[in-house]
Amino acid sequence: MAGPAQALKTDAEAGAGFQAAPDLQAAAARWLSWLRDERRVAGNTIEAYRRDARQFFWFLNRHLGEAPCLKTLAEMGRGDFRAWMAARQNDGIEARSQARSLSAIRSLFRFLAKNGLATNGVLSTLRSPKLPRSVPKPLNVGEALEAVEAVAELQEEDWIGKRDAAILLLLYGCGLRIGEAIGLNRRDIPNGEPATLTVTGKGNKTRVVPLLPQVRAAIRDYIAASPWGGTGSDPLFVGAKGGRLNPRLIQKAMQSLRLALGLPETATPHALRHSFATHLLGAGADLRAIQELLGHSSLSTTQRYTDVDAQHLLSVYGAAHPRARR
């Protein structure tokens, strides 16, 4: 892994690649470094923000007829920002990506203002594109259990199969995100009672979730079979060479499961987390408790699962109720 000096050099090189004046290139590079080193923003998000900034500067080149500088950004009016958003829409960029792009540029402008480089209050008055309300697509109980039980059979190495089964059980049995499961270290797994797991989620927020006996047994089974040892600070789930597991391998395992079991395209690792919440709700669990288990900061996020459960009830009604068949 590159050290801090190398990482900063990489950001500087990326800043030089922006179609912008030198002062704005340098400021953009500082912004990306700040996101990574001080805000601890995820690498994928930083790369997305980098692309959004490049596209924004490229648009300003065409819109203004010259490379933008810090003064350009400070003097932009509402019409300039609206022209950029309209261009994105005309390019066929979906609303969710447009909203992320706007979020990225707002982050850049906040950084510039905070550091006395450029100030522009117009951007804060613009509304984000209205996003369609997405409804999670969980697996049914049978599909979820079948996926967890069958994943071990896809791997030639016995310990790798046990590893994948333990991870899927954490997603479905504890409602973890795949990144949260992959990020666990050996010391995070309790030896005694109570059998609870402290999880660090989005925004470095921690939550405590119960560790079901079946999940705990699967993790112990994997640890016993793994050829890689380690201390408490070492990663729990490792790849074939002993390093922390790449989540892409679990995504590939789910792809194989879709083919082997005939599961829908929506059967992803994250769908197991959705299944966890939906099945708890269907069994009568309290919405607030599900919110805590999932680590949602807002109850409105968790309330999406009530839509999923309602859809399930409607489908059952349509298939079984005499009045629905008239």
DSSP state of 185: B
3-state DSSP assignment of residue 209: strand
Partnered with residue 199 across adjacent β-strands are 207
Q: Are 197 and 208 in contact (CB under 8 A)?
A: yes
Beta strands in 99-189 (DSSP E): none
Q: Using one digit for the tens of pLDDT, what is the confidence trace for 271-296?
A: 888 888 777 776 776 666 666 677 65
Residue 132 in any domain: the answer is: no
Instruction: Answer whether residue 133 is part of any domain.
Output: no
Q: Domain holding 93: CATH number?
A: 1.10.150.130
Closest CA to 180 of 288, 294, 89, 283: 294
H/E stretch holding 200 reads strand 196-200
Q: Is the dihedral angle over the CA atoms 94, 97, 99, 104 positive or is it negative?
A: negative
Q: What is the pLDDT of residues 66-108, one digit of tens each?
A: 999 999 999 999 999 999 989 988 888 777 788 888 888 988 9
Contact 55, 93 (CB under 8 A): no
Q: What is the CATH number of the domain that holds 171?
A: 1.10.443.10
Count of beta carbons in the 10 Å neighbourhood of residue 198: 11
Total domains in the chain come to 2
Backbone angles phi, psi at 295, to 5 degrees: 80, 25
Quote the pLDDT of residue 8: 35
Q: Which residues are catalytic?
A: 177, 202, 270, 273, 296, 305
> For 65, left (φ over 0), alpha (ψ -120 to 50), or beta?
left
Note the pLDDT of residue 135. 54
**Rg over CA atoms, the chain:** 24
Same domain flag for 106 and 189: no
Q: Which domain holds residue 50?
A: 4-125
Where is the domain boundary, 125, 150, 166? 125
Q: Are residues 102 and 157 in the same domain?
A: no
Phi, psi of 235 (to 5 degrees): -60, 145
pLDDT > 80? residue 18: no
